[in-house]
Chain A
């Protein structure tokens, strides 16, 4: 005990000496230190590095940078690049998606049902496991795997090439004008892959105020759980507006538009926050534009397929399995005449329709809080259930696969969907609460219940308002 006190005195003496000396030296110590670091670095480099007089090898990089970060071509080039990536994803994913679906749903599903009944499983257990859990997983795999297997490698190739810092460079002035940190453009871009990863990536931002803004607005980056929803709905409602050979382009265009809208909301909300509750000046930073490097093709394919795609898919499956069980249960537990799902849908319908959505979509988003990936399957299943369609689906609580987008379109139209419903679903998919993983990550990074709540509730409120306004305008014009 006595020893402890002595130690404390010793450290206190050190600290007070430091304080006194600090006053004597004045506050230029940081500059002195940085100066001596730079001087030494310069001297050592001058002694050891030989740089050729003319540097022709750099000029290609510089020309490319001049184009990519140019005031006039920078943004159009970015849109174009994104559009091409999505177009390749949309066009490339259709066929394998249908093949996987026909295998897992048309072949394996009936076989599983048969196997369960042979083993003497009661009807409710077969329903829960085969029609609920299995079909939810099958749907997620067939809808998500092909687009991810195309999108991730393409995106990773761009990343390895060195394109991302240039995007950040282009976006920097926009973010600064919004009162946020320029590096937010990097965490935002990470969010296009996964919002939870984007939230962690905000660690590169020094100021807590700007970091909080980046965390709260990261959800406006469409994550890979939402790309399939956007792509499917866009191809049904926007791809169908144009002749068939242009459908892919129209779909890609609509998805890029929603992604851009997300960037707009990121900037707008950042601006709003930095002018109200998170007031402050944007801090300066230097961003190094790394040299363009030829991507390592095989390693990129390997890491993006095995690490990224497999991990995201696994997460989706893990969340889809219990969600499938929940869907089956709410569709098969009856109170009076109607199932739980139908009760909710009937009650929520007026509110949903006021927003240009419907009760089915609202219920689907509640069930899908754990993972955005399962929104579309849930919507389809609930639509069939509530509209009492005949001829499609296998019964209450059974998610099913329709071989192509036109099959899905028929179900949705029969369920009362219009162009407005499709448009608003895309908007609501952009503007709603983050998935549970992201919410948990936000809490871990901010250690604040208050800001976690803000980041969770703010996008939902915005989604409701935006959908409501769009619905009113649409009905006025239509």
Chain B
């Protein structure tokens, strides 16, 4: 009996959730990594603060939209896996054509991150969800970081994280990145989604117009036939219907094909933390 308790305690200590010591911040030393994690979100939601908390880097953080216009990269080790973290420019949507939005969208689409962490401002959830829904159209492996919970609390705003997770079909972590609150849980979910332990069932948009739905289904079918393994054929179809030149080019010159080849490599990773076994 005593033995058993001890084993439990030992397991808890090893368990990544309870031990931030398991998080090894790699800074920019990240020659080899197992998973790629993208950090997306609206401007000014604390993406860079989350980035710094995870990597131990000190990217300058500023309180204004448009502070990060390029990608910053860093890394960390968690649960014996090496993660590369890419901080994307903050954007309100992925549909327009400014260079910073393109950097973000191209990375989520063509960079094929294993997990996309979407950082949102808990005090402005509705507006932030617009971007979340767009990201979930492109990728089905995402974690929502509900940041600035301290500010929300100060303003008397409450967010039902559980209901949000159910509606979006992805893990939701309430966090205050400035105080490093929620970072352990965030790490846990990144790990679980990356390794496939947690399977996301992302929310997809409901489109009401039937003629649009018909066209979309038709085109999606054709794309899936030509690129059988593509994960987001429907989104590609939508962009083609909208006449997005970048996506048209990607279909034409085969960039889309290279995207498929990379995907299956990381299936069936061991799902348990080796340290605990």
| Inter-subunit contact B58/A303 (CB<8 Å) | yes
B39-70 contact mask (Cβ, 8 Å, vs A): 1 or 0: 00011100000000000001011111110011
| Inter-subunit contact B156/A52 (CB<8 Å) | yes
Task: Give the shortest distance, in Å, between A311 (CB) and chain B (any CB).
Answer: 11
Most buried by A among B156, B163, B164, B208: B156
User: Which of A25, A37, A290 makes the CB contact (< 8 A) with B212?
Assistant: A25
Residue tally, chain B, CB below 8 Å to A: 72
| Inter-subunit contact A29/B64 (CB<8 Å) | no
User: Which of B62, B129, B161, B223 makes the CB contact (< 8 A) with A44?
Assistant: B129
* Contacts known (A17-B218, A48-B160, A159-B64); A32 close to B212, Cβ less than 8 A: yes
Quick one: which of B156-178 are within 8 Å of A by CB? 156-161, 163-164, 167-168, 178
Q: Does B11 contact A (CB under 8 A)?
A: no
Contacts of A165 in B (CB 8 A): 63-65
| Inter-subunit contact A24/B211 (CB<8 Å) | yes
| Inter-subunit contact A206/B65 (CB<8 Å) | no
| Inter-subunit contact A14/B222 (CB<8 Å) | yes
Closest to B239 in A: A18
| Inter-subunit contact B58/A307 (CB<8 Å) | yes
| Inter-subunit contact A14/B62 (CB<8 Å) | no
- Cα-based distance from A24 to B212 in the complex (angstroms): 9
* Contacts known (A22-B243, A25-B215); A164 close to B64, Cβ less than 8 A: yes
Give 5 A-B contacts (CB < 8 Å), ordered by A residue. Answer: A17-B219, A37-B133, A41-B129, A52-B155, A160-B63
Additional A-B contacts beyond A48-B167, A50-B159, A302-B58 (10; CB < 8 A): A12-B252, A17-B219, A41-B132, A44-B167, A48-B160, A57-B155, A58-B155, A204-B98, A290-B44, A307-B60
Q: Does A203 contact B (CB under 8 A)?
A: yes
The secondary-structure label for the interface of chain A is: helix
A281-314 contact mask (Cβ, 8 Å, vs B): 1 or 0: 0000011101101011001001100111000000
Contacts of A296 in B (CB 8 A): 178
| Inter-subunit contact B62/A21 (CB<8 Å) | no
Task: Give the shortest distance, in Å, between B59 (CB) and chain A (any CB).
Answer: 9
Task: Give the shortest distance, in Å, between A335 (CB) and chain B (any CB).
Answer: 48
Q: Which A-B residue pairs are the 10 nearest by beta carbons?
A: A45-B126, A206-B98, A41-B129, A52-B156, A18-B240, A204-B66, A203-B69, A21-B215, A203-B99, A10-B226
Q: Does A344 contact B (CB under 8 A)?
A: no
| Inter-subunit contact A162/B64 (CB<8 Å) | yes
User: Which of A22, A34, A36, A45 makes the CB contact (< 8 A) with B125?
Assistant: A45
A26-39 contact mask (Cβ, 8 Å, vs B): 1 or 0: 00011011101110
| Inter-subunit contact B156/A38 (CB<8 Å) | no
Contacts of A451 in B (CB 8 A): none
- Cα-based distance from A26 to B187 in the complex (angstroms): 45
| Inter-subunit contact A57/B156 (CB<8 Å) | yes
Binds A, one of B30-38, B199-207, B265-273: B199-207
Contacts of A32 in B (CB 8 A): 207-209, 212
| Inter-subunit contact B126/A49 (CB<8 Å) | yes
| Inter-subunit contact B178/A47 (CB<8 Å) | no
Task: Give the shortest distance, in Å, between B232 (CB) and chain A (any CB).
Answer: 15
Residue tally, chain A, CB below 8 Å to B: 66
Quick one: which of A254-300 are within 8 Å of B by CB? 286-288, 290-291, 293, 295-296, 299
Contacts of B215 in A (CB 8 A): 21, 24-25
| Inter-subunit contact B63/A290 (CB<8 Å) | yes
| Inter-subunit contact B211/A25 (CB<8 Å) | yes
Contacts of A55 in B (CB 8 A): 155-156
- Cα-based distance from A38 to B127 in the complex (angstroms): 8
- Cα-based distance from A293 to B45 in the complex (angstroms): 12
User: Which of B89, B97, B125, B248 makes the CB contact (< 8 A) with A48?
Assistant: B125
Q: Which B residues contact A (CB, under 8 angstroms)?
A: 42-44, 58, 60-66, 69-70, 89, 92, 95-101, 103, 123, 125-127, 129-130, 132-134, 151, 154-161, 163-164, 167-168, 178, 203, 205-209, 211-212, 215, 218-219, 222-223, 225-226, 237-238, 240-243, 248, 251-252, 254, 257
Contacts of B129 in A (CB 8 A): 40-41, 44-45
- Cα-based distance from A48 to B164 in the complex (angstroms): 6
Most buried by A among B60, B160, B237: B60
A368-393 contact mask (Cβ, 8 Å, vs B): 1 or 0: 00000000000000000000000000
Q: Does A15 contact B (CB under 8 A)?
A: yes
Q: Does A51 contact B (CB under 8 A)?
A: yes
* Contacts known (A57-B156, A291-B123); A162 close to B63, Cβ less than 8 A: yes
User: Which of B96, B123, B161, B238 makes the CB contact (< 8 A) with A33?
Assistant: B238
Contacts of B69 in A (CB 8 A): 200-201, 203-204
Most buried by B among A10, A22, A40: A40
User: Which of B65, B98, B251 makes the CB contact (< 8 A) with A203?
Assistant: B98
- Cα-based distance from A18 to B226 in the complex (angstroms): 14
User: Which of B97, B125, B161, B240 makes the CB contact (< 8 A) with A14?
Assistant: B240
- Cα-based distance from A183 to B219 in the complex (angstroms): 38
Task: Give the shortest distance, in Å, between A99 (CB) and chain B (any CB).
Answer: 29
Q: Does A174 contact B (CB under 8 A)?
A: no
| Inter-subunit contact A50/B242 (CB<8 Å) | no
Q: Does A5 contact B (CB under 8 A)?
A: no
| Inter-subunit contact A11/B209 (CB<8 Å) | no
Quick one: which of A36-84 are within 8 Å of B by CB? 36-38, 40-42, 44-45, 47-52, 55, 57-58
Contacts of A13 in B (CB 8 A): 222, 226
